[in-house]
Amino acid sequence: MRAALRQALVIAVVALVPALLAGLLHPKLPAWNPAALKADEVLAAEVALWAKAPLWVDARTRGEFEKEHIPEAVLLNEDEWDELLPGVLTEWDPGQRIVVYCDSDACDSSHAVATRLREAGLSPVSVLHGGWKAWKEAQR
């Protein structure tokens, strides 16, 4: 048994080497690595575990929203802010979590919309890490 434990230890240590290399170099590293998250961001996988569904706010353009969006999401972008905000307020139950998303990590409109929602007194407001693309990925 002692010899088996010693062999197992050697194997476990050797396996660390490619694991560490993968952590540094792998092209398919988890996009939702918590270390990469900004303070107000949440992961699609995390949201899926919430007991109560959040109010999804789509910060993309109307065209993108109409093409496809997260079920039950409401549209709210900066271009149509004044026209769309009343609709968001109607859909939102006070206390319900709001999660804003745009297309991917490359866009910043979700953060801008989240900031304006907080300024309007809504809380708690989070941003979906990786946006629409990450949500689609999490559904596969």
Partner 1 sequence: MKIVCLLLRWLVAGLFIYAGVVKAFDPGTFAVDVYHYRILPAMAAVALALYLPYLEIFAALGSLTRRFRQGGLLILLSLMLVFMLALGIAWARGLDIACGCFGTRDATANYPWWMTRDALLLAALLWLKRMP
Neighbouring CB atoms inside 10 A of 128's CB total: 27
CA-nearest of 38, 72, 40 to 56 is: 72
Contact call for residues 76 and 88 (beta carbons, < 8 A): yes
Does 5 bind partner 1 (CB under 8 A)? Our answer is yes
Smallest separation, CB 52 to partner 1 (Å): 16
9 forms part of the interface with partner 1 (CB under 8 A):
yes
Check binding of 14 to partner 1 (CB under 8 A). yes
| Total of residues contacting partner 1 (CB under 8 A) | 33
* Dihedral, 27, 134, 98, 60 alpha carbons, nearest 10: 110
- Site membership for partner 1, residue 52 (CB under 8 A): no
Per-residue DSSP letter, 35 = G
Judged by CB under 8 A, which of 25, 39, 49, 106 binds partner 1? Answer: 49
| Rounded Cα distance, 100 and 60, in Å | 10
- 135 part of the interface to partner 1, by CB under 8 A: no
How far is C-alpha 3 from the geometric centre of its chain's CA atoms? 47
Least distance CB 91 / partner 1 (angstroms): 27
**Residues 42, 128: Cα–Cα separation, whole Å:** 5
The site string for partner 1 over 18-47 (x = CB under 8 A, - otherwise) reads xx--xx--x-xxxxxxxx-------x-xx-
**Which residues sit at the interface with partner 1, rule CB under 8 A?**
3-12, 14-16, 18-19, 22-23, 26, 28-35, 43, 45-46, 48-49, 138, 140
